[in-house]
Amino acid sequence: MIGKPMCVITWPSRHSLIAVALPVLLGFSGLAVADVCEMDETDRALLNQVNEARSQPRQCGDRSFEAAPPLAWNCKLEDAARAHAEAMVELEFFSHTGPDGVQTGRRVSDRGYSWSAVGENIASGQNSVDHVIEGWLSSPGHCANIMNAEFTEMGAARVEAPGSPHSPFWTQVFARPL
C-alpha cells in the first residue's frame, strides 16, 4: 500500500489498476428478501450522496450516463460490505478478492441475497463521506458503478484500522435482486 488514499480496480485477469468490481450479470435462483435495518449517520450520508449523484446525467471517463433512479439501502449488502472491509483491515489486504479467493458476488450470495447484478467499490484513506464519494466519482470505474441504472440497492461500510495510515477502509456493494 502507498501512503495516500487509494482505489484499485481488480479485473478478471487479476491486474490491479483502480478499485472496482465490474458489475456481474448472472442468474441465481431464489428471491431477495428486503431487510429493514437501522442506518447510521454515515450510511444515510453515503446513500444520500450516491442518490444525489445518480439524479443527474454524468460523464464517467469516456462513458456518458443518464440520470438513474435512486438506490434503496439493503442490510444484506451492508453486511457483505462490512465483512469485506473488516477482512481487509484484519488480514491487511486491499482487493475485491479475499485471501480465500472469495469475490463480491459470493460474499453477497453467502448473506442470502439472490442477485441478478452485483458490483463493488472499495477505497482506503478517505476520512469522510464527502472525500470517498468525490474519489469514487473521479474514477471512471467507480463512477460507472454508482451511475449503473441496473443496480437498485446498495449497502456500504466504513471500518477503522487503528494505527494504519490507510484507515479507514470503505466497501460499497451494489446489486439488483432477482
Q: Is residue 106 part of a domain?
A: yes
How many CB atoms are located within 10 Å of the residue 177 CB?
A: 19
Q: Is residue 131 part of a domain?
A: yes
Within 60-138, where are the H helices? 75-91, 104-109, 129-138
Whole-prediction pTM? 0.81
Contact 136, 130 (CB under 8 A): no
Structural domain count of the chain: 1
Give yes or no for a cis peptide into 168 (omega within 30° of 0). yes
Give the C-alpha separation, 29 to 99, whole Å.
Answer: 27
Q: Residue 72: is its pLDDT beyond 60?
A: yes
Report pLDDT digits (tens) over 10-52.
Answer: 333 222 223 444 444 333 333 333 456 889 999 999 999 999 9
Q: Is residue 9 part of a domain?
A: no
Report pLDDT digits (tens) over 113-166.
Answer: 999 999 999 999 999 999 999 999 999 999 999 999 999 999 999 999 999 999
Q: Is residue 36 part of a domain?
A: yes
| Radius of gyration of the chain from its Cα atoms, rounded to whole angstroms | 15
Q: Which strand (E) or helix (H) includes residue 41?
A: helix 41-54
Q: Residue 3: is its pLDDT beyond 50?
A: no
Q: Is residue 142 part of a domain?
A: yes
Contact 94, 173 (CB under 8 A): no
pLDDT score, position 37: 80
Q: 16-27: string of b/e by CB count within 10 Å (b at 16+)?
A: eeebbbbbbeee
Q: Which residue has the cell 479485473?
A: 11
CATH of the domain at 151: 3.40.33.10
**Nearby residues of 34 by Cβ (< 8 Å), 6 or more positions away:** 72, 74
> What is the mean pLDDT of the segment spanning 83-102?
96
For residue 122, give its domain range.
20-156
Contact 13, 5 (CB under 8 A): no
Q: Is residue 163 part of a domain?
A: no
Bridge partner list, 117 = 25, 176
Q: Is residue 166 part of a domain?
A: no
